[in-house]
């Protein structure tokens, strides 16, 4: 898809199908459902509904994606990063604490409480998170600078990989006893 | 701004200031006001509220921007394009006819009526538009794949440039009498 | 083609075939015919002869293309843009008025009369045009910063798309009566 | 520096000084000391000696950097990522367990034990680590696809940021009691 | 210059000045003189007249440049390459033998005799040359995929650098006696 | 391979196979043998052992490669360039004279004698070389900013192409008699 990747039907770009531009239909550029709240009944109390090239093939090569994020009261979109994208997020409903951490050696935490209509930026590849700061639901719309941004949720990656990272590595990395590592790994 | 453009205070990247990362504050990554409806009292009946590097300096180098679009009943976001960005737009309120035209020689018009929660893609550099298809207000959020996407509104560019494009050029281009060109130019 | 896209025969890059470098021939990098004047017997009085990846497969991945433009006396290369390229044009014969319009909100028209041996730049994605300023033929050579620059001719895109853009959209965009829109659409 | 960023002395590119190419000296492209073992007397038992644009100005704009990594016996280069680079690492001395975790939702751990002369790849933005698998010292040389790759050490970023991430965020993200979060934060 | 590098007067991009777009003039995008034959009274019998960002500031950030090449009868544009650009060349007058050599290990020479109106492609970074194949003058226009393509003329670089490359290096590289290296170096 | 090029098994990117990320194995990211000295029994007395996408498929799309270079006493890695990469090289053993030549018109030779642990940079596309400055073996590790950097060895390209570059072209380019060109060509 994408005019930059034109004209043979069988072509693939970035591993995704690339339709003949003579054959594209409006539906190739269409996604439905961002009005539907995601199911936040999970341990972190948040849910992301992504609109990337996996859900909307017409995004291929275009360098853009979107997502809706739902948060239950005090729900958290846990620390994560996008290996191939920057992000801007705006609040549709509720209030969020949004933050990101700069890279070594400063590891500065930059945070802001966001209300309806506020927007905040998470630079390329940095660890970031949001937390619903209220007793009601919160909703945000995020935009990402890649059609295939990827998501690396820190806790799942570090303590919930398949197979697990060796406990000796994690014990040293987090400077804790192995039984705490075990405890952390048991959650994922 | 942007971690990719680090460490001297006086540096400029892409013509915009690039702060020392030791000195950045949360406000450098923050924008407020996307909850406020734009004033649509104008001939086309729509208003774009942009959040680009000009409004939010922390976007510099990050390849992402956002915008809110308000439409009065039957209002039109007129045919335009972004010389440096693709776009994805989602409807928050109301119903929109969204469309874009593919490049030469096909000039295919691809359209879709969008309802709340629908999203539609406008590929890089193509002419596109939206029209509110109802008697109530409509609102959309758009994301763009550049911190500095630029906007070229076709009518203003072609018939409202400063100074004007020679009437002989436009008469030939649009294959109409000069008095119709004059009439078109008089509106902008 | 292009050394950056090497070695399997069946591979495709950007939707175009990518030959095994062991099998490429000189003809894969060759195009013939830029000495032949294009047929300018058309309403605008100009003709572009492109040399892009569609005509010269060896250009794939190389980020460059060329074109010859012929103009009959007072002929116009009508307002258009390239969604994926900047352009530099030099005059081989005759005199041309060349111009482009900057993006919103200024919409400044930048023009120059060009004589033989003069060159002029049209930045990425901006609307531009040329007009033969004389009673003889004019000829130019243009270079573009993409092997697949694309062309969006404003008049054809806006008033001649297939199907047509709704007259209500265009009437509002150009601030004219629908019968003028009808008239404009009837030409394309 | 870098020929792509030529000729004014005062110019800055990416926030770093960019010398006039007429004035560059061999020392602008030179770094000394990769033969010296880093001091691994620290909790994780490893030390990275980087050669990026911060240490070697001539790397600016060139998209490449290098590093030496020293590991004491069973020392760990803890889970981290580079927000702007892929990496390839080769073992000069000793044996290392190297691993990375793919992004959501699979979070697959891909590992390999590397011996002298082996090389392993860590794709752009993914969390990765190494562990010395022996009773002797280990040494590796890594190459990175950016002059300014950045480093995000997971433990330091998540549990050692300045100021700290709110304990409620981390407790939910890692699904543990706040006192375990406190314990983790106290180490950094 | 370049819309992608907008709005502060003092800004520099790629080491070149970047004007405030409100202040740009048509002359910033203009170059004159490609109709004038270069002086080919030199040992190789050819002359390149470049139009790059150094001659035409408005090209900055636009990724395109042009050049005129003049050849006296049997004159040679000697083997050279552009470290940052691909090239397409078209013949305006005369006949040229054009060729390039693919990279290791094949080092295939791909050549074509070009007549008026023919075009030929020289892929990014490959060594290429042209030779006038006739008793009259020849002229070509070349387009390059960078505003700052750079030129590395093989003979001057290898045998005419300042200071000279050590004769031992060149004798081994070219597998000839040092006196032949001396002879080659004495020409430049 | 590469997370940026995900999920269909049959896909190809840059002409190389791109595996389904669900099916990748550690061995797709692994190379063995950089501890083995290359065979330097050849006229120049050096040998490069490359680790590019051709040897290590998991490098595809990642923009990085590595190489080991072995030099016999006084051996030379002859003048060459990488059309798609910058390079940084560090000495593991011995002493090397390293140099590169800037582009036209200066053709400055920038050199440095490197000892164990020293690193030196060769900017994108510039001609560079190394010479072992001692009576013992020398070894270096180089990193390159492309998974497919390409190598153009000047002597082989200019005097050893297949078929040969016309002697008239080379005689004029190097300003020597044809018999010297014949002599140079006979070595390759």
Q: Give the model's pLDDT for residue A13.
A: 62
Q: Which of F48, F142, F91, B3 is nearest to D143 (CA)?
A: F142
Q: How far is B40 from chain C (nearest CA, A)?
A: 13
Q: Is the pLDDT of residue B4 over 60?
A: no
For residue D10, give the chain E residue with the closest CA: E15
A13:C16 CB<8 A = no
pLDDT of E70 > 60? The answer is yes
pLDDT of residue B12: 59
Mean pLDDT across the stretch D75-91? 98
Please state the rounded mean pLDDT for residues D96-107. 97
- Tell me the per-residue pLDDT of B85-115, one tens digit each, with 9 for 90 and over: 999 999 999 999 999 999 999 999 999 999 9
- Confidence (pLDDT) at D15: 64
- What pLDDT does residue F2 have? 39
Q: What is the pLDDT of residue E106?
A: 95
- When scoring C5, C13, C14, C15 by the number of chain A Cβ atoms within 10 A, the one with the most, hence best to mutate, is C15
Contact criterion met (CB < 8 Å) for E30 and C110: no
Mean pLDDT across chain F: 92
Identify which of F69, C22, F49 has the alpha carbon closest to the alpha carbon of residue E107: C22
The CATH class, in words, for A33-150 is mainly beta
Q: What are phi and psi of A156, to 5 degrees?
A: -65, -35
DSSP assignment string, A60-118: TTS--EEEEEEE-TT-EEEEEE-TT--EEEEEEES-EEEEEE--TTT-BEEEEEE-TTE
Report whether pLDDT(D2) > 60: no
- CA dihedral of D38, D39, D43, D44, whole degrees rounded to 10: 20
The pLDDT value recorded for residue F24 is: 87
CATH superfamily of F36-150: Jelly Rolls (2.60.120.10)
Searching chain B, which residue's CA lies closest to the CA of residue D60? Answer: B5
Cβ proximity of F178 and F136 under 8 Å: no
pLDDT band, very low/low/confident/very high, at D17 (cuts 50, 70, 90) = low
**CB–CB of A41/C50 below 8 Å?**
no
Q: Taking residues E54-70, what's their average pLDDT?
A: 96
Task: Write the ipTM.
Answer: 0.91
Give the pLDDT score at F117: 98
Using the Cβ of A163 and the Cβ atoms of chain F, whether some distance falls under 8 Å is answered with no
pLDDT for D18 beyond 50: yes
- Whether the CB of A150 is below 8 Å from some CB of chain F: the reply is yes
**How many other C-beta atoms are found inside a 10 Å radius of the C-beta of residue C55?**
15
User: What phi and psi values does residue F170 have, to the nearest 5 degrees?
Assistant: -75, -35
Q: Among B84-93, B122-131, C9-18, D141-150, whose mean pLDDT is lowest?
A: C9-18
For residues B84 and B67, give the distance between their C-alpha atoms in angstroms, rounded to a whole number: 15
pLDDT, residue A18, reads 67
Residue intervals in chain A for CATH 2.60.120.10: 33-150
Q: What is the DSSP string of A15-34?
A: TEE---TTT--GGGGEEE-T
Residues 39-68 of E with CB under 8 A from D: 54
Number of C-beta neighbours around residue B157 at 10 A: 26
CB C121 within 8 A of CB B67: no
**What is the Cα–Cα distance from F51 to A81, expressed in whole angstroms?**
30
- Residue F170: in which H helix or E strand, if any? helix F167-174
Residue A86 has its nearest CB partner, among B22, B62, B85, at B62
Taking the model in full, what pTM does it have? 0.92
Instruction: Nearest by CB to C8, from F12, F83, F84: name it.
Output: F12
- Look at the block and give the residue holding tokens 């408005």: E58
Count CB-CB contacts under 10 A for residue B177.
Answer: 12
Q: Using the beta-carbon criterion (under 8 Å), do D90 and F34 form an inter-chain contact? A: yes
Name the residue facing F12 among C3, C4, C11 (closest C-beta): C11
Average pLDDT, integer, range D57-76: 97
| Residues 18 through 37 of chain D touching chain A, CB cutoff 8 Å | none
Q: What is the mean pLDDT of chain B?
A: 92
Per residue in C118-144, pLDDT (tens digit) is: 999 999 999 999 999 999 999 999 999
Residues of chain F with CATH 2.60.120.10: 36-150
D and C touch per CB criterion (3+ pairs under 8 A): no
> Which percentage of chain D shows pLDDT scores above 90?
86
Question: What's the pLDDT score for residue E18?
Answer: 67
Q: Is the pLDDT of residue A97 over 80?
A: yes
The rounded distance, in Å, linking the Cα atoms of C139 and C120 is: 14
In the prediction, which pLDDT does F5 show? 41
Residue C154 has φ and ψ, to the nearest 5°, of -55, -50
Q: In 3-state terms, what secondary structure has residue A146?
A: coil
Q: Where in chain E is the domain with CATH 2.60.120.10?
A: 32-150
- Cα E87 from Cα E66, distance rounded (Å): 9
DSSP per residue, D115-156: -TTEEEEE-TT-EEEEEE-SSS-EEEEEEESSSS---EEHHH
Domain C34-150 has CATH 2.60.120.10: yes
Question: What is the C-alpha separation between C174 and C83, in angstroms, rounded?
Answer: 22
Inter-chain contact C103–B150, Cβ cutoff 8 Å? yes
Convert the pLDDT of each residue in C16-28 to its tens digit: 666 777 788 999 9
Q: In chain C, where does the domain assigned CATH 2.60.120.10 lie? A: 34-150
For the domain made up of E32-150, the CATH class stated in words is mainly beta
**What are the residue ranges of helices labelled H in B91-142?**
none
Residue B20 banded pLDDT, cuts 50, 70, 90: confident
Within 10 angstroms of residue C40's Cβ, the number of other Cβ atoms is: 18
pLDDT digits (tens, 9 = 90+) for A122-141: 999 999 999 999 999 999 99
- List, for residues B127-184, the tens digit of each pLDDT value: 999 999 999 999 999 999 999 999 999 999 999 999 999 999 999 999 999 999 999 9
- Which chain E residues are closer than 8 Å to D8 by Cβ? 12, 15-17
As given in the structure block, the two tokens for residue C106 are 């200024």
Reported as a single tens digit per residue, the pLDDT across E87-106 is 999 999 999 999 999 999 99
Q: What percent of chain D is predicted at pLDDT more than 70?
A: 90
Closest-CA distance, B87 to chain C, in angstroms, reads: 13
Q: What beta strand segments (E) does chain C contain?
A: 12-13, 16-17, 30-32, 46-51, 65-71, 76-81, 87-93, 96-101, 109-114, 118-122, 127-132, 138-144, 152-153
Q: What is the pLDDT of residues F127-144, one digit of tens each?
A: 999 999 999 999 999 999
Three-state SS letters, F67-95? EEEEECCCCEEEEEECCCCCEEEEEEECC
- Strand, coil or helix: B101: strand
Q: What is the DSSP letter of B11?
A: -
Q: Is residue C115 a known part of a binding site? A: no
CB contact at 8 A, B7 and B20: yes
Inter-chain CB pairs, C–E, below 8 Å = 167
Residues in C closer than 8 angstroms to A7, CB to CB, are 15-16, 54
DSSP structural state of residue E188: -
């Amino acid at each position: 898809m994408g005019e930059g990747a034109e004209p043979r039907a069988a072509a693939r770009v970035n591993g995704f199908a690339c339709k003949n531009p003579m054959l594209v239909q409006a539906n190739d550029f269409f996604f439905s459902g961002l009005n539907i709240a995601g199911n936040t009944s999970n341990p972190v109390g948040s849910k992301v509904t992504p609109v990337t090239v996996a859900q909307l093939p017409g995004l291929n090569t275009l360098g853009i994606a979107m997502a809706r994020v739902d948060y239950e009261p005090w729900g958290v979109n846990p620390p994560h990063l996008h290996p191939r994208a920057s992000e801007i997020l705006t609040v549709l409903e509720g209030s969020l604490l949004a933050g990101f951490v700069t890279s070594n050696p400063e590891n500065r935490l930059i945070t802001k409480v966001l209300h309806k209509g506020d927007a905040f930026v998470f630079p390329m590849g940095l660890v970031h998170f949001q937390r619903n700061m209220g007793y009601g639901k919160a909703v945000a719309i995020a935009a990402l600078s890649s059609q295939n941004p990827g998501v690396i949720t820190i806790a799942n990656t570090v303590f919930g990989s398949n197979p697990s990272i060796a406990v000796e590595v994690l014990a040293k990395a987090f400077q804790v006893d192995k039984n705490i590592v075990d405890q952390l790994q048991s959650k994922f």
